[in-house]
Structures are given as C-alpha cells and as structure tokens.
C-alpha cells in the first residue's frame, strides 16, 4: 500500500512548467479555493519551496481540495522538515509516534527513498546554480575598481506635470506632492545589467519621485546610451548587475534640503513612520529606503541587518534585495546566490530573471543553459520581456542542441514584436531564427541584421560580431538571382 501511494505522489510532484506564485496560492487557500491553491503549491514545491511543501502536507492531512492521504502528507512534511520549516519536524515525529510499530520502519524507508529522488539535493541539482568555489576569491573589476559607476548626473529640465507618488515594484514609500511643489528633476533609482561591452542593458525602474513622464524617460534613455567601464573577470569581459541613481537621487542630504526641501521632508517623515512600524512589509520598505537614500540617518549596516532578518523569516522581496545587495558588493557570494535563488522559489518575476542571468553569465556559477532557460521561461510567462529575449537566445543559439527549439523561439518572438521595434536584440534574434528556416528569406535576414547593427550602434553596443557574421554571409554562398537573394546551389539562381 505504501509503495503504491509513493508512486502516485511521485507522479504528482513533477508538474509541467507553471509559475510558482506562492502568494496567489496562499490567497486562494485563504479563500478556500483549494483546488487552485493546490496547483500553485505543487508548482512551488517542485522548486523546493518549504512553505509549499508544508501547505501540501496540511492539505493531504485534512483532505482540503485533495483526497485525504496520510502517506502523501508524511512525504510533504518530510520535504518541509529538510528545511527545518515551521514545526514540520515536530509534526513528522508525532505522526511517527502514532503509527503502528510494525509500519514505522517501512514508512521511514519510503521517506528516505522519496527524499533521495525529490528532496533538497535533487531539486538543487535540477534547477539551481552550482557555485564554482575556486572562483570566489576573484573579483569583477571595472578598471581599477570593484564597483561600477552608480551615480548619473543630468541636466535639469523645466517640468510642468508631476507624478503624485513615489512608486516601486514592491510598493515602497509613497509620497504625495501638491500642485504647488516647485519644479524639480525626478528622483530615479533603477537596476540594470552591464553587458560585457560596457553598455547598459535591461533597465528596471525601482523607485521614482517627481518629474514628468518625458523627464523620467529622458533619464532612462540617457543611461541606455551611456557607456560604462567594461566589467572584467580574470582579465576577460563579463556581465554584471548594478543599481543606478539618477536625477535628484544623486544629491546628498544638504543639497536635497537646499534645493528640494519638500521632497526631503516627505522622505524623512515616511522613513520615520516605517522605522517604528513592526510589520514585515514596513521593515522591508524602511530597509530599502535606507539603501536608496543613503543620506537618511542610520547605523552602519542597519539596512543589511534588517534585510537579513526578514529573509530568514521568509520575506521573499527581502530575500531578493539582500541577495542583490551582497552580489553587487561582491561579498559573501554563496549567500548572495542562495538568497536570489530562494526568492525565485516564491514566484517573484524579477528574481526568476536574475537567477536565469546568474546561470547564464555569472563567473562564479557553472553555466547551465538548461537551468537558465527554465527560469527565463517562468519569468516570460509573467510578461518579462528581457527574460523572453534571453529564452529566445538559448532556444536558438545554445551550445546544448538538446534544448534548441526554433518553433518555441518563434512563438516568443511574436509575443514581443509590438514592443520591441527599437530593440537591436529583437532584430538580431529574428535574423537568427530566419537563418534556421528550411526556406530562407535571405533579403529579410540581411535586412534584420542591418537593422540590429544600426540600432545597436545608436546605443553604443559592440556589434562587431553581428557585423562580422553579416559580412561572412554576404561573402559566402549567397548571390542575387532573378528571384532575389538565394544560395548558389538553388536552381532559381540559374
């Protein structure tokens, strides 16, 4: 009986690609939408989320949305216990104590076998980074420094319309500005990728305060065209992630008081309120405020200590912010990678993208296109365009031919076509897709390569590899016949 139940549980455990939105599952569970919650927890459990393990165990134990099943409950409690989650170990022990003595040994063996197949080690091997221990002592360099440029000054512009909130993805400090606020440039904080050529890629707006839409867009466009020092690892160009402060975000306390007193007072007032609010979300917002406004009065390391504490309590946005902080500062790298990975288990789209990038380009992690593709596709399901582009790249160009899939890549390209009319990578990847078609439209291929190179040059990207590939194609077995561009062995070329 136990072996039959175990087999059934094993089949359930591995589900198809579904985003692990643990927060949505919790909401559904609270609303007694148990069948929907079950699917969400199952997806998260597949990625090693201990909260999901525990919830599934409870659902099987009580028959909530599933048939009551003691063996499945035991197995999921055992998975949660691997992470010392909540009282999973105590519950598991109480179940052991209630079992007939003659079945304890059999259940124990079933658990050991299940853990070996589906436990922490197995999940880590399947989805998560393998750290290159011998590389950890080597730093990414930006010239002579280990820190890239983070402050970007801009010309002030006359602004007429104002945002009335201070927004960010996680709902951080909200500041209201009345219509009489004197003109001021936006306070803008973003995360972005630094490509191996020093160009700024994939900007993510974290917080903004003040400024017109055009003024904010001007800053975003400006940094996209701003060449940075090339990041190098052991003398070789690599990629890195960074945080940038633009507009009035670059000013210190005294400049802000002198020039934008209203903004200073509101930021200070809100941070003081958050500091005294004991809720986890308020403490998270306070910690991010200390990071994004370093002029706020704070003890040394205060923001980091708060984030670490929240991460250990299971606050997933804090897990991501803490991991990114450590990674940007290139210290405690195993912990940095661990917390980014942990936050991805909770279905945070930004975390899924970041984990995919680590697996694809971090010099401290074993490169694994298969794992990276898994996380990029999860983020792409939530509309993350950059993750979609990275997934397309792997599906078309990975050295691992087993995961190439031009059909899926084509579908992804179609899904982002409307929004990517000025993105060089879109045209480059579309050209690569057309190159793999059985019936090649060489004119379109060449047009797409030329458009990618043109747009890339406008953004100060290094497109020499694209140009070299186009040159080889133009000089190769391709001629112009009566029917247009075709290969020399095509009968239509005559």
pLDDT digits (tens, 9 = 90+) for 111-166: 999 999 999 999 999 999 999 999 999 999 999 999 999 998 755 333 333 333 44
Q: Is residue 135 assigned to a domain?
A: no
- Residue where one domain finishes, among candidates 127, 155, 176: 127
Q: Based on the fold, state whether residues 118 and 266 are members of the same structural domain.
A: no
Q: Based on the fold, state whether residues 401 and 312 are members of the same structural domain.
A: no
Q: Is residue 132 assigned to a domain?
A: no
Question: pLDDT, tens digit, for every residue of 227-274?
Answer: 899 999 999 999 999 999 998 899 899 999 998 888 899 899 999 999
Q: Based on the fold, state whether residues 107 and 157 are members of the same structural domain.
A: no
Q: At what angle do helices 349-361 and 316-328 cross, to 10 degrees?
A: 30
* Residue 211: predicted pLDDT: 64
Q: Which range marks the domain in which residue 91 is found? A: 2-127
Does residue 178 register a pLDDT over 70?
A: no
Q: Based on the fold, state whether residues 109 and 226 are members of the same structural domain.
A: no
* Residue 163: predicted pLDDT: 34
* Residue 333: predicted pLDDT: 99
Give the count of beta carbons closer than 10 Å to the beta carbon of residue 477: 10
Query: Region 481-490: what's the mean pLDDT?
Result: 43
Q: What is the CATH number of the domain that holds 19?
A: 1.25.40.10
Q: Is residue 358 assigned to a domain?
A: no
Q: Is residue 61 assigned to a domain?
A: yes
Give the count of beta carbons closer than 10 Å to the beta carbon of residue 168: 18
* Residue 172: predicted pLDDT: 54
Q: Based on the fold, state whether residues 171 and 229 are members of the same structural domain.
A: yes
Residue with tokens 């099987």: 60
Q: For residue 389, which of 426, 355, 437 has the smallest C-alpha distance?
A: 426
Q: Based on the fold, state whether residues 158 and 291 are members of the same structural domain.
A: yes
* Residue 54: predicted pLDDT: 98
Q: Based on the fold, state whether residues 328 and 286 are members of the same structural domain.
A: yes
Q: Compute the mean pLDDT over every residue in the chain, rounded to the nearest whole number.
A: 87
Q: Is residue 394 assigned to a domain?
A: yes
Q: Is residue 134 assigned to a domain?
A: no
Question: pLDDT, tens digit, for every residue of 183-210?
Answer: 567 889 999 999 999 999 999 999 887 7
The model's pTM is 0.87
* Residue 9: predicted pLDDT: 40
Q: Are 243 and 191 in contact (CB under 8 A)?
A: yes
Q: Is residue 380 assigned to a domain?
A: yes
Q: Based on the structure, what is the number of domains in the chain?
A: 3
Q: Is residue 317 assigned to a domain?
A: yes
Determine what percent of the chain falls in helix, strand and coil, rounding each to the nearest 5.
60, 10, 30
Among residues of the chain, what percentage have pLDDT more than 90? 76
How many angstroms separate the CA atoms of 82 and 340, rounded? 20
Q: Based on the fold, state whether residues 169 and 248 are members of the same structural domain.
A: yes
- Residue where one domain finishes, among candidates 99, 127, 155: 127
Confidence band, pLDDT 50/70/90 cuts, at residue 169: very low
Q: Based on the fold, state whether residues 251 and 338 are members of the same structural domain.
A: yes
Half-sphere exposure of 451 (CA within 13 A, CB side): 18
Q: Based on the fold, state whether residues 462 and 440 are members of the same structural domain.
A: yes
Q: Are 150 and 243 in contact (CB under 8 A)?
A: yes
- Residue where one domain finishes, among candidates 127, 162, 194: 127
- For strands 231-233 and 187-194, give the pairing: unpaired
Q: Based on the fold, state whether residues 54 and 185 are members of the same structural domain.
A: no
Q: Based on the fold, state whether residues 201 and 296 are members of the same structural domain.
A: yes
Helices (H), 237-368: 253-259, 261-276, 280-292, 302-312, 316-328, 333-344, 349-361
Confidence band, pLDDT 50/70/90 cuts, at residue 330: very high
């Amino acid at each position: 009986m136990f072996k039959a139940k175990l087999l059934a549980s094993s089949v359930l455990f591995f589900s198809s690609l579904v985003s692990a939105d643990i927060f949505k599952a919790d909401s559904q569970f609270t609303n007694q939408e148990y069948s929907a919650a079950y699917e969400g927890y199952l997806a998260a459990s597949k990625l090693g989320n201990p909260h999901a393990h525990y919830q599934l165990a409870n659902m099987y134990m009580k028959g909530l949305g599933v048939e009551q099943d003691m063996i499945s409950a035991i197995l999921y409690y055992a998975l949660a216990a691997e992470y010392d989650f909540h009282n999973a170990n105590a519950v598991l022990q109480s179940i052991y104590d209630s079992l007939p003595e003659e079945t304890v040994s059999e259940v124990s063996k079933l658990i050991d076998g299940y853990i070996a197949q589906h436990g922490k080690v197995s999940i880590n091997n399947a989805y998560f980074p393998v750290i290159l221990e011998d590389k950890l002592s080597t730093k990414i360099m930006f010239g002579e420094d280990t820190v890239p440029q983070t402050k970007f000054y801009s010309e002030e512009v006359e602004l007429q319309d104002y945002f009335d909130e201070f927004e960010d993805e996680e709902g951080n400090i909200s500041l209201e500005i009345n219509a009489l606020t004197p003109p001021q440039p936006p306070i803008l904080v973003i995360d972005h990728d630094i490509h191996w050529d020093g160009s700024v890629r994939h900007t993510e707006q974290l917080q903004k305060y003040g400024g017109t839409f055009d003024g904010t867009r001007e800053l975003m466009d400006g940094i996209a065209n701003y060449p940075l020092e090339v990041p190098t690892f052991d003398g070789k160009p690599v990629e890195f992630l960074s945080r940038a402060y633009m507009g009035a975000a670059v000013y210190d306390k005294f400049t802000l008081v002198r020039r934008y007193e209203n903004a200073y007072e509101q930021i200070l007032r809100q941070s003081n309120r958050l500091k005294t609010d004991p809720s986890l979300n308020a403490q998270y917002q306070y910690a991010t405020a200390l990071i994004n406004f370093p002029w706020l009065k704070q003890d040394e390391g205060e923001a980091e200590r708060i984030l670490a504490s929240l991460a250990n309590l299971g606050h997933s946005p804090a897990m991501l912010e803490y991991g990114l902080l450590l990674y940007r500062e290139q210290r405690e790298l195993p912990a940095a990678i661990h917390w980014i990975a942990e936050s991805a288990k909770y279905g945070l789209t930004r975390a899924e993208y970041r984990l995919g990038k680590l697996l694809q380009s971090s010099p401290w992690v074993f490169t694994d296109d298969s794992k990276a593709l898994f996380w990029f596709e999860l983020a792409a399901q939530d509309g993350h365009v950059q993750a979609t582009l990275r997934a397309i790249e792997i599906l078309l160009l990975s050295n691992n031919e087993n995961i190439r899939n031009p059909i899926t890549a084509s579908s992804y390209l179609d899904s982002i076509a409307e929004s990517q009319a000025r993105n060089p990578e879109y045209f480059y990847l579309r050209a690569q897709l057309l190159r793999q078609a059985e019936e090649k439209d060489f004119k379109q291929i060449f047009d797409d390569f030329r458009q990618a190179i043109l747009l890339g040059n406008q953004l100060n990207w290094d497109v020499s590899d694209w140009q070299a590939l186009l040159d080889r194609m133009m000089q190769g077995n391709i001629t112009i016949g009566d029917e247009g561009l075709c290969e020399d062995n095509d009968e239509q070329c005559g």
